[in-house]
Amino acid sequence: MPFLDQITEPTLLLNETVARANIRRMADKAHRHHVTLRPHFKTHQSRQVGEWFKAEGITSITVSSVKMAQYFARHGWQNITIAFPLNRRQLPQLAELARQITLNLTVTSADDISFLREHLTEQVNVWVKADTGYGRTGIKTEDTAALDTVLHELAQTPQHPFLGFLAHAGHSYKARNKEAIVAIHQETLTKMRALKERYSGAWPGLQLSIGDTPSCSVTEDFSGMNEIRPGNFVFYDLMQNLISSCRLEDIAVAVACPVVALHPDRNEIILYGGSVHFSKDALPQADGGVIFGLVVPLTENGWGAPLSETALVSLSQEHGIVRTTPELFSQFEIGGLVGVLPVHSCLTADLMKGYLTLQGERLEHLSGINGF
């Protein structure tokens, strides 16, 4: 296992074959349903992984910050949506980006539109954030008075073209089966189509953009939508597996952690790998406890299936505690390495600041680039 010889500390392993298969499967679905795939790059934040999307014909992307937009613009992406509410304090950076690429911004109020009209001379395209039930931000699709006001402001702002309505059904992450995901997705479709029906007369080119990994992974109805913006699907994780968005074998990342101590009296293994590597995201268990990852054996092909009754059960800053069975305890040795499938791949990738492929290649992550 040559790629493992490089590992001396917690390292995020990336199975390129699995990730590329995930990308190809979602690209094929978008093509089949005649919608544009504008993937969210906040999960991987890597120029090299971005090239795998280009290989599948992807030309437009989504990001969640101005810094991320700057990074991917630097690496050749020319059509970028920042699917995060307009941050007025970054106006100079937005103006610079707008001079370089096609930049699409997300607004949540009529006041955002008037601000852009008065302060941004460079052209940007505008998405209006619609809240279809998640409740995080955006304008509720039922609040037609607020929506009317926003679109009235847009009519006075032709220098910043209105693209349409953008939504993220993040509450699909709280589902626990495909049926629940489908129900949330159908509600989102209904609410978005109603917006188009109400406003397309005045705005005949109005588009609808949706996108969450659970819905885009398990559903087959995108009628009336113009684009989808899933992100987590490139790697998936244990949360997505729990809610039936993916199979365990679709998870493309695992954290390789050194074993630093053994406690046979309680069948616990201490890993060099804590909350600064995994985050504190956890999955609830039937016994009332939580787990922070599933343990997998590392192999020459990456990693195998999770070990039975073996999980990462506790995290402190640098420590991780794995609890296993007496029968499996003997498989662990101090100085060895184990793999851990993360609960949330987006946060884990951000914390780990880079990747090691199974071929031994180091790939960058935006969080690990000094001075950017």
Calculate mean pLDDT across residues 111-136.
98
Q: Answer yes or no: is 342 within a domain.
A: yes
Same domain (yes/no): 217, 288: no
Same domain (yes/no): 203, 258: no
Residue 281 and residue 289: Cα distance in Å, rounded? 13
* Planar angle of CA 60, 64, 66, nearest 5 degrees: 90
Q: What's residue 3's pLDDT?
A: 78
Give me the CATH number covering residue 99. Answer: 3.20.20.10
Q: Answer yes or no: is 53 within a domain.
A: yes
Q: Answer yes or no: is 17 within a domain.
A: no
Calculate mean pLDDT across residues 101-116.
98
Q: State which amino acid sits at residue 22.
A: N
Same domain (yes/no): 63, 212: yes
* Planar angle of CA 90, 95, 101, nearest 5 degrees: 120
The pLDDT tens digits of the residues spanning 277-330 come to 999 999 999 999 999 999 999 998 899 999 999 999 999 999 999 999 999 999
Same domain (yes/no): 192, 297: no
Same domain (yes/no): 193, 91: yes
Last residue of a domain, one of 235, 270, 305: 235
Q: Answer yes or no: is 240 within a domain.
A: no
Q: What's residue 371's pLDDT?
A: 81
Same domain (yes/no): 196, 218: yes
Work out the percent of the chain whose per-residue pLDDT is above 90: 97
- Coil, helix or strand at residue 35: coil
User: Structurally, how many domains does the chain consist of?
Assistant: 2
The pLDDT tens digits of the residues spanning 319-370 come to 999 999 999 999 999 999 999 999 999 999 999 999 999 999 999 999 999 8
Q: Answer yes or no: is 21 within a domain.
A: no
Structure pTM?
Answer: 0.97
Same domain (yes/no): 227, 263: no
Structure tokens at 103: 């930049």
**Which distant-in-sequence residues (6+ apart) come within 8 Å of 112 by Cβ?**
85, 86
Last residue of a domain, one of 235, 256, 290: 235
Q: Answer yes or no: is 344 within a domain.
A: yes
Same domain (yes/no): 76, 97: yes
Q: Answer yes or no: is 41 within a domain.
A: yes
Calculate mean pLDDT across residues 170-195.
96
For residue 55, the enclosing domain spans 33-235
Same domain (yes/no): 227, 277: no
Distances (CA, A) of 262 to 77, 136, 150, 175, 278: 48, 43, 60, 37, 21
Instruction: Pick the closest to residue 35 from 231, 234, 209, 230 (CA basis).
Output: 209
Same domain (yes/no): 130, 263: no
Its sign, for the CA torsion 258, 347, 231, 251, is: positive
Statement: residue 167 has pLDDT above 90? yes
Q: Answer yes or no: is 147 within a domain.
A: yes
Q: What's residue 1's pLDDT?
A: 60
The pLDDT tens digits of the residues spanning 75-89 come to 999 999 999 999 999
Statement: residue 6 has pLDDT above 90? no
Statement: residue 212 has pLDDT above 70? yes
Residue 168 and residue 210: Cα distance in Å, rounded? 6
Same domain (yes/no): 200, 333: no
Same domain (yes/no): 155, 254: no
Q: Backbone phi, then psi, for 254, in 5-degree steps?
A: -150, 145
Q: What's residue 4's pLDDT?
A: 87
Question: Quick one: DSSP state of residue 301?
Answer: T
Work out the percent of the chain whose per-residue pLDDT is above 70: 100
Last residue of a domain, one of 181, 200, 235: 235
Give me the CATH number covering residue 355. Answer: 2.40.37.20
Q: What's residue 106's pLDDT?
A: 98
The pLDDT tens digits of the residues spanning 133-159 come to 999 999 999 999 999 999 999 999 999
In sequence order, what are the beta bridge partners of 237? Answer: none
